[in-house]
Amino acid sequence: MKTKVQSQALWIGAGALAGGSLPLLLYWLQAATIIPPEQTATVHRIHPFEEWVVVVTAFGAKPAYMLISLACVVWLWRQRSPDLVALRRGLLVFWLGEAACAVNFTVFQGFSDLWEYFHNFGMAVGFSFVTYAVLDGIDRRLVKYSAAKDRCAALSLCRACIKYADVPCGLRRVFAMLIPATMVVACMPLCVGLKPSVFDTHVFGSPVHYAEALSDQLFEIRYCPALALVLLAASWLVLQFKRVEPVPLAKVLFAAAMGPLGFGLMRLFLTAAYHENAVWSNAWEELTELLFTIAVAFMLWVFRPALFAPETSSAANQMDSTGAVA
């Protein structure tokens, strides 16, 4: 069972990488992927406090969360549990995306749309892997839905379990309702107009360039939600029509959808909220990523005895043939 789920996750991951590479055509078809500095907008003056915000996030928050994520990848390198493997891969892809962001700002001064795409793509795919890690971890370690011999945590609500009786599964029915609801949410970015923007400023005398190019918005609020809709629809169809073990594959597809959807919604909110001052849009993105990596490292540290221990089925969690606790 574990090998089958890992194989499904591998194929879905390969599909996500292939699908995510399609927007590269936007950059290859363009005459140039680097905007010359002389074509940018008026230079904006910012408050000295905002200048310090740029410095702290660029030279403090960003290196910190890149170091934390890389340290977690190394820490998880020998783990073989599917949820921890997915987490490791997600953090690694996330780190690669942030490394692309660093290349864009240090080498191209923020003018390369192509390297910004690598940044965005890394975040979207990384969030998909992390979402799968969370879903699989909750299932494997808390709910026990997929464990054949362990009592499902929802048994007290369902009263009878699909594992041992011919009854509908409450969790599966909730999941089937949640997917269409998420598809409705995925339509929100598609209704937003495309508004490319450029924000140039000086930080302690050095020029800093922020841009939300048309190619960025096409990826963030057009391609990402459209891809999420396709993956969510596939997840729902698998859940409804696949007769043998539909939940594992549906869960992988759902997690694959949540990465681009979550990334697109995050960028949509930050761009809309700080449209007049991109300093804060960038700062809050960096700070939330720092909080994300700190939270991951903290959870791994707090629960390391159980997370890194060999998986065993608790005798107290076993069920008899009627679905009752043994």
Write down the domain spans for the chain. Answer: 41-304
Q: Which pLDDT does position 15 carry in this prediction?
A: 59
The values of phi and psi at residue 180, to 5°, are: -60, -35
Q: Which pLDDT does position 164 carry in this prediction?
A: 61
CA 185 to each of CA 120, 232, 306: distance values in angstroms, whole numbers, following the listed order: 20, 11, 35
Q: Which pLDDT does position 325 carry in this prediction?
A: 40
Contact residues for 193 (Cβ-Cβ < 8 A; gap 6+): none
Q: Are 144 and 317 in contact (CB under 8 A)?
A: yes
Instruction: Provide the 8-state DSSP code for 245.
Output: S
Each residue's pLDDT expressed in tens, for the chain with a length of 326 residues: 455 555 555 555 555 555 555 565 555 444 334 444 444 457 888 999 999 999 999 999 999 999 999 999 999 999 999 999 999 999 999 999 999 999 988 888 878 888 888 899 999 999 999 999 999 998 888 877 777 677 776 667 776 666 666 666 777 888 889 999 999 999 999 999 988 888 889 999 888 888 888 888 888 999 999 999 999 999 999 988 887 778 888 889 999 999 999 999 999 999 999 988 999 999 999 999 999 999 999 999 999 998 988 755 444 444 443 444 43
CA angle 224, 192, 28 (to 5 degrees): 45
Q: What is the pTM of this model?
A: 0.82
Cα–Cα dist 154/160, whole Å: 9
Q: Which pLDDT does position 3 carry in this prediction?
A: 56
- Burial-class residue 178 by CB neighbours within 10 Å (0-12, 13-18, 19+): middle
Reduced 3-state DSSP string for 250-268: HHHHHHHHHHHHHHHHHHH
Radius of gyration of the chain (CA): 22
Question: Given the structure tokens 């940044």, which residue do they identify?
Answer: 119
